[in-house]
Structure 1
């Protein structure tokens, strides 16, 4: 079954060093998509989201 939600939230990215802003929401959306596609596991969500946040435009 595809997960409907992530096990992480924006506050987890902030605690990990991300700056507040719209890039956090975009990173979480990309992470949810990757999770639903089976490309990452729940354990990989935070690392994936941080990498996505660092790639912000």
Structure 2
């Protein structure tokens, strides 16, 4: 009985971890697209002068 409970808990843990990792991949993809768009738009805007960055530190 304890073995079945341990297997079920392991399956729940791995399933939850897989879901979280999947969500993190989607978030990383969205951030990457926003970063690329910001880089391209700022480069086109600032092509005429100076060293401008699209992000602020």
Q: Structure 2-normalised TM-score?
A: 0.32
Whose helix proportion is higher, 1 or 2?
A: 2
Larger Rg: 2
**Which one scores higher on RCO, CA 8 angstroms, separation ≥ 6?**
1
Q: Structure 1-normalised TM-score?
A: 0.32
